Amino acid sequence: MRMKIPFGTISVTEKSKKIIAGLLESNRLSSGKYVREFEKRFAIHVGTKEAIAVSSGTDAVALALAVLYEFGAKRGDEIIVPALSFPATGNAVLQAGFTPSFVDIDRKTLNIDPLKIEDVITEKTKAILPVHLMGKPADMDIINDIAKKYNLYLLEDAAEAHGAVYRGRNVGTLGDMAAYSLYIAHIITTVEGGIVTTDNSDFAEILRSLRSHGRACKCESCVLNTASAYCTKRFKYDTDIRFVFERIGFSAKMNELEAAIGIGNLDLYDEILQKRRENLYYLLEEFKKFHSYLSTIEKEPYEEIGPHALPMIVQEEAKFTRDQLVNGLEKKGIDTRTLFSSMPTQCPGFNFLGYKEGDFPNAEYIGNNGIHIGVHQDIDRKGCDYIIDAVEEFLLKD
């Protein structure tokens, strides 16, 4: 029997619906107490002191980078990023006013090749931005050593890495800041949205300013927003602090409706994570029999992969193309996504940076030959077996 396996899903709890109904009744929809609650709970969940909610995962990266201007960075300075990622990573670097300096990836892990990072470090380099692609942790020990050696900031792009663990520590706690996406396809979602985690209270204060146009008004919890009470700081500059702008900022606040959905997802987090991880690890084990034609990531003993999706890479020995594989899976009702592209050489928007095809052979290979499919909580074991059977049938037919 033909099944339908969508790439993603969303869980909206009864608690979230009740909060949303109350918000609609009250007309208090902009960032307020539920955003603060979501931030506090997300920080506890990751294991950091601070979490600052914003309007998207891209904004989370861009604002985290923009913090660096307060600590000596200049516009045009360089940020090291992997060549392979969803374009949001490179876009955010540019939107923050920096220049991305790309490094090829390791085809086995899909993450930045740490042995190639030092080759691109210059006196203009200010930070390393590894991406935990598909939820698989980057090699953070080596990357941290390099960052310390060259006195660079380390920011994690953890967009897909909810629940990932590296050598006993949660992803999101392994650098100066980490940026998460809260888009629909992710384990914790607010529909749209993003969030930055950090242990640095100074960074957190700047982030709260940056997300609201660079305002001087940047308390963790706003008295005026939550209770219409008197604010003792409001006229500290002899004018309304809400209209003093200390830095170039963004318009990137999360609203209360989004936070309400996120709070419900945090309630379900353990259940969702366990189900998705069971699906991913089961599929990874079963896919070993396809390794001659399709490769995927592997779980190392020292890590837990954030179960975002299952990647598949068509190998050189295969007698079929990625598009043929996609067509075969889609005919079976299995929704697919390409496994991103080499940003500097396969995404035309980055052409102005001057890279050429062949500069990042591993990223380019994945860009031409990789796909990924969902492992979400609405897929049961029968669905996983359906995926395996569909792939096997395609390979035998081909």
Structure tokens at 222: 């706003």
Give the number of other Cβ atoms within 10 Å of residue 201's Cβ.
11
Give yes or no for a contact between 344 and 359, defined as CB atoms under 8 angstroms apart.
yes
How far is residue 166's CA from residue 172's CA, in Å, rounded to a whole number?
10
Q: Does domain 274-397 have CATH number 3.40.50.280?
A: no
- Name the residue type at position 10: I
Split at pLDDT 50, 70, 90, the class of 397 is: confident
- pLDDT recorded at residue 264: 97
How far is residue 308's CA from residue 160's CA, in Å, rounded to a whole number?
6
Mean of the per-residue pLDDT values of the chain:
95
Split at pLDDT 50, 70, 90, the class of 229 is: low
- pLDDT recorded at residue 347: 98
Give yes or no for a contact between 92 and 61, defined as CB atoms under 8 angstroms apart.
yes
Split at pLDDT 50, 70, 90, the class of 217 is: confident
Write the pLDDT tens digit of every residue in 344-361. Answer: 999 999 999 999 999 999
Find the mean pLDDT for residues 317-334: 97
Q: What is the CATH number of domain 14-267?
A: 3.40.640.10
Split at pLDDT 50, 70, 90, the class of 220 is: confident
The residues, ordered by sequence, that sit 6+ positions from 245 with a Cβ below 8 Å of its Cβ are 213, 214, 215, 216
Q: What is the b/e burial string over 176-197, where b = at least 16 CB atoms within 10 angstroms of the residue's CB?
A: bbbbbbbbebbbbbbebbbbbb
Beta bridge partners of 195: 53, 180
Write the pLDDT tens digit of every residue in 369-381. Answer: 999 999 999 999 9
Find the mean pLDDT for residues 229-244: 73
Give the number of other Cβ atoms within 10 Å of residue 106's Cβ.
17
User: Domain extents for the chain?
Assistant: 14-267, 274-397
Split at pLDDT 50, 70, 90, the class of 108 is: very high
Residue 253 has pLDDT above 90, yes or no: yes
Give yes or no for a contact between 86 and 65, defined as CB atoms under 8 angstroms apart.
no
